[in-house]
Structure 1
Amino acid sequence: MKKHFQKAAAILLSISIVLSMIGCQSKQDASTKEGAQSTAAGANGQDADENGSENLSSEEPVNIRVASVYVEGHSMNKVFEEVLTEFKNDHPNVTITEEFMPSEQLNPKLKTDAASNNMPDIFPVWAGMTNLEGIQAGLWMNLEEELNKDSAWKDSFGSGTLEQFQYEAAPGYWAVPLCSFGLGFYYNTELFEKANAEPPKTWDELLQVIDKLKAIGVTPWEIGGKDTWRCEHLFSNLYYKMYGIDQASKVTDGSLKYDDESFLRVFEKMLELVDAGAFDPNMIGIDYAQEVANFASGNSGMQFNGAWAIGETDGPDTPDTIKGKVGFFPFPNMEGAEEFDGQWFGGVSDAFAVRADLEGQKKELVIELLKKITAPETAKKIGEESGNIPSVKTELDPEKTGALMPIVQEAISGADQFAGDFTGFETNSAVIRKIENFSQAILGKLITPEDACKQLAEEAAR
């Protein structure tokens, strides 16, 4: 990736702008929601005359397939549904097929769609080198021309966010960002006070907090280990804090091997948390939705999560058990690795790409919808109503964002370098799956750190 990670001053410029204004960002599981299917539109929502050329009028039916993880109950669902409804109201000839499902279901579906060349017209993507597979297969539209034609649209994104979807091997812009994030701890201030605990700044202090929370009979750290991405998030963050983002990025060219001692030490730190009793003993059986519910019950001390959790812990639907009782602190620093104190797991959390083979009126309508999804007006709703941090520059009303968002933003603004998932640096999909699965297996004590590293190295060498 050309710029897979960015300095904080660049990647989260939009966040710092929002913060200054205030001073004056898989995911909850739910059932799949399918929108209305169009019977009048063709496979791409386009008709052709007998010579194969387009023969569309402004009133001819067009169906747009939109995929997302914003299922009912997701903090972004309401805002996203409103955008789609407004677009349909403005375009009576347009129907939208909503292919909404949790990421654990959507990702395999998108792989199947890619294999059959049947991608949705608009689909969610996340930063990472594996995106090159779809791009080089001709499945993603290069949005560079559209962005350059509309400078106001291009300039509306926070500096450094568009660059998360640039690649040296495929010049252009391949997606547009919607939300930004940084991972840290959301903690129950009432339980911390009861346990006589303070937000920890170092690893040793974190272990002490875990002991204090255990002593009052609550789960210290809630994590939905059934979903491997939750476990991999912990792996990624520990690697950055212990060895730095620059070293992590070396797996891309193979100069960092999986038999390197750093991987063993990271897995050992994860195991140290398990042995300290940080998690629910049944954490491997708990998915993300249950993790959120457990923390919301008021019986868990803290939750390591992204900025999207602002809406879950300080939104209009937040239960009284934690309403107004949630604080935030960055992931504690590691002794002996002070040079990486300012490194965060973060960047762009939500982005959308477009199917490559769209033409004519269908293409124009899809780009128009994409612009509406990423408009400043939508970004304002994202910040004020969903509790997520928008990647698009906009002015937020502090009376509507709630008390937690400025706290999270202030913490994030102290970072000096960001990167997304460690697996985003890896190009081998088989190795990526093993990192995710072994992160889960380590937390479940189903594999030793030594065996995990050995198998990772063997897979990478194939």
Structure 2
Amino acid sequence: MAQKRLRISTAVAVAVAGTVAFTSLLTACSHPQPSADGLQVSPASPTAKANDKIQPVSLTIRHTQVKDTQKKRLAMLQDVVKATEANVPGLTITLDGVEDKVNRFEKLRAEMAAGNPPEIFDLFGGTDTRDYVKADRLLDLTPVLKELGLSDKFYSFDEFTVNGKIYGIPMAGYVEGLYFNKKILANNGLKPPQTWDELLAEAEVLKSRNITPIMLAAKDAWVINMMMNTMWVRTAGPNVVEGFLSGIKRWTDPDVVDAFSKYTTLVKKGYLQEGSLALSYAEQQNKFSSGEAAFMFDGSWANTPLLDPEKSSIVNDVGFMNFPAINGPGDGFINGGWSNAYGFSNRVSEAQLAAIKEFIKQMYNEPMQKRQLMEEGMPPAMKLKDTSDVNPLIMEILQVFANAQGTFTAYDSRIQTKVREKLERGMQELIAGRTDPAKLMEELQQQQEASNKEEMHVN
């Protein structure tokens, strides 16, 4: 989950193609009968002989399935591990679970710097992948995928491709948008808003009736910028982050500042959750699933707690939509893609590499991808032939993904770390009333220029 976490000058065309390809997933009519879970266990490795002395092999898998809402996802990984161990004599796999943000921004980063990452690990695409390739830490998967016949089975390796080589295998896709409570809207004579003005008008109606219009957890700063990212794409276009990186676009440009000014309107009018700066991301989902707000901006991964009848009172009342149009060049685009993957250390032995290939075979196949879709609502990374019997909300999410005008990746998969951190702190200050859009954008542009120069110097 973060999901991500899945986030483009030339990538717009690629993303549109990916969206078109995703549409074919929804219209597929064939229904093959896969073996249970897609796990194929052989009596013994084809390379093992009865009289051979089995040599011990060990792998560590760093995963991020540590939350209560990820138990099904963890069970899938555990099943894959069991099947992999059964097919590789002498293999022992250790699962190392770490919270996703801690893994991405702290633990894995430190391990990469020291040159001792686990053999298999949860990897974020874009900037993270490029940095680790530059440091010569990642296994080139291009020949492995070709050997296993998987090169053309995925929607996109875009975020994990550096200089024409693939360094990560996406686990699932993601898409971000606006969840809404159908019952609250209907009871108040409202419909899903299609424009920014409609959203504001509905928020005013809801607020006047003591209903929280938009649920927001601002304690976890990255949560704020999911919707903010979509808003600045609406006003400034889907290529805006690439423009920041190249210098042809500035955070201080009027069309960018406009998005932050509109966000400030939501804050000042009280349309966001009261006391949001004290709320964690988990509380955001809990409160929305308890029916305490009409809207919540979140990722496709959030469908899991929303559809859990033991935790959600709105299982039959939740819908999903693209964020409303703001009358800008990015209207109709959606934040979506394939940003979370498994990466692999390039410092592995021949025996470990053989075990890694078996892990890939067990993890990446149609039955396992279908299981992810059915049990967790995770948009598949691989091109499925069968999407029958999928939950209606999940199908709605997939349909919104497919019908978008185009996709763009999350800004934090491209932007430099210091810029991201400056933006996260700045948005919390904006919500607290300690800064304003113009001042924040000036500070952000200064950091962007400094980070761009630093990157040019390193390169």
> Is TM > 0.5 for Structure 1 vs Structure 2?
yes
| Distance in 2 (alpha carbons) for counterparts of 1:104 and 1:320 | 25
**More displaced, 11-20 or 305-314?**
11-20
| SS in structure 2 at match of 1:291 | helix
Q: Determine if contact 1:313/1:322 at 8 Å carries over to the other structure.
A: yes
Aligned match for 1:418, one of 407, 427, 439:
407
Distance 1:292 1:139, change over 3 A: same
Distance 1:296 1:358, change over 3 A: same
Aligned match for 2:358, one of 343, 350, 368:
368
Aligned to 1:247: 240
Aligned to 1:117: 115
| Distance in 2 (alpha carbons) for counterparts of 1:318 and 1:397 | 25
| Distance in 1 (alpha carbons) for counterparts of 2:191 and 2:60 | 48
**More displaced, 322-331 or 348-357?**
348-357
| Distance in 2 (alpha carbons) for counterparts of 1:441 and 1:6 | 36
Q: Determine if contact 2:221/2:424 at 8 Å carries over to the other structure.
A: yes
Aligned match for 1:265, one of 258, 264, 271:
258
Aligned to 1:460: 448
Aligned to 1:63: 58
Q: Determine if contact 2:15/2:408 at 8 Å carries over to the other structure.
A: no
Instruction: Compute the TM-score of the two structures, normalised by the length of structure 1.
Output: 0.84
Q: Determine if contact 1:251/1:257 at 8 Å carries over to the other structure.
A: yes
| SS in structure 1 at match of 2:250 | coil
**Structure 1 runs of 4+ off > 4 angstroms?**
1-9
| SS in structure 2 at match of 1:118 | coil
Aligned to 1:17: 24
Aligned match for 1:156, one of 153, 158, 170:
153
**Cα deviation, residue 61, structure 1:** 2.3
Distance 1:16 1:373, change over 3 A: same
Residues 2-57 of structure 1, C-alpha deviations (whole Å, 9 max, x = no match): 85444454224553233113799xxxxxxxxxxxxxxxxxxxxxxxxxxxxxxxx7
**Amino acid of the structure 2 residue aligned with 1:191:** I
Aligned to 1:77: 74
| SS in structure 2 at match of 1:98 | strand
Q: Structure 1 unaligned runs (5+)?
A: 25-56
**Amino acid of the structure 1 residue aligned with 2:348:** L
Instruction: Compute the TM-score of the two structures, normalised by the length of structure 2.
Output: 0.85
Distance 1:353 1:209, change over 3 A: same
| Distance in 2 (alpha carbons) for counterparts of 1:6 and 1:122 | 31
Q: Determine if contact 2:175/2:300 at 8 Å carries over to the other structure.
A: yes
Aligned match for 1:305, one of 298, 309, 319:
298
**Cα deviation, residue 311, structure 1:** 2.3
Aligned match for 1:329, one of 321, 324, 332:
321
Matches within 5 A, 1:152-301: 152-158=149-155, 161-167=156-162, 170-301=163-294
| SS in structure 2 at match of 1:345 | strand
Residues 256-313 of structure 1, C-alpha deviations (whole Å, 9 max, x = no match): 2333333322221211111122222211121111111111111121211111122232
| SS in structure 1 at match of 2:403 | coil
Q: Determine if contact 1:224/1:230 at 8 Å carries over to the other structure.
A: yes
Aligned to 2:423: 435
| SS in structure 1 at match of 2:443 | helix
Distance 1:85 1:302, change over 3 A: farther
**Amino acid of the structure 2 residue aligned with 1:231:** I
| Distance in 2 (alpha carbons) for counterparts of 1:226 and 1:23 | 45
**Cα deviation, residue 379, structure 1:** 0.2
| SS in structure 2 at match of 1:132 | helix
Aligned to 1:43: none
**Cα deviation, residue 82, structure 1:** 2.6
| Distance in 2 (alpha carbons) for counterparts of 1:355 and 1:5 | 30
**Amino acid of the structure 2 residue aligned with 1:437:** R
Distance 1:219 1:271, change over 3 A: same
Aligned match for 1:143, one of 125, 141, 144:
141
Aligned match for 2:435, one of 436, 443, 447:
447
**Amino acid of the structure 2 residue aligned with 1:257:** R
Distance 1:448 1:23, change over 3 A: farther
Aligned to 1:36: none
**Amino acid of the structure 1 residue aligned with 2:130:** L
Residues 49-77 of structure 1, C-alpha deviations (whole Å, 9 max, x = no match): xxxxxxxx773222211112211423433
Aligned match for 2:311, one of 312, 319, 326:
319
| Distance in 2 (alpha carbons) for counterparts of 1:59 and 1:220 | 62
Aligned to 1:100: 97
Distance 1:276 1:59, change over 3 A: farther
| SS in structure 1 at match of 2:260 | helix
Q: Determine if contact 1:3/1:163 at 8 Å carries over to the other structure.
A: no
Identity of counterpart residues, as a percentage? 21
Query: Are 2:376 and 1:386 equivalent residues in the alignment?
Result: yes
**Cα deviation, residue 385, structure 1:** 0.9
**Cα deviation, residue 365, structure 1:** 0.6
Aligned to 2:38: none
Aligned match for 2:125, one of 124, 127, 139:
127
| Distance in 2 (alpha carbons) for counterparts of 1:424 and 1:11 | 18
Q: Determine if contact 2:20/2:402 at 8 Å carries over to the other structure.
A: no
Q: Determine if contact 1:14/1:391 at 8 Å carries over to the other structure.
A: no
Aligned to 2:394: 405
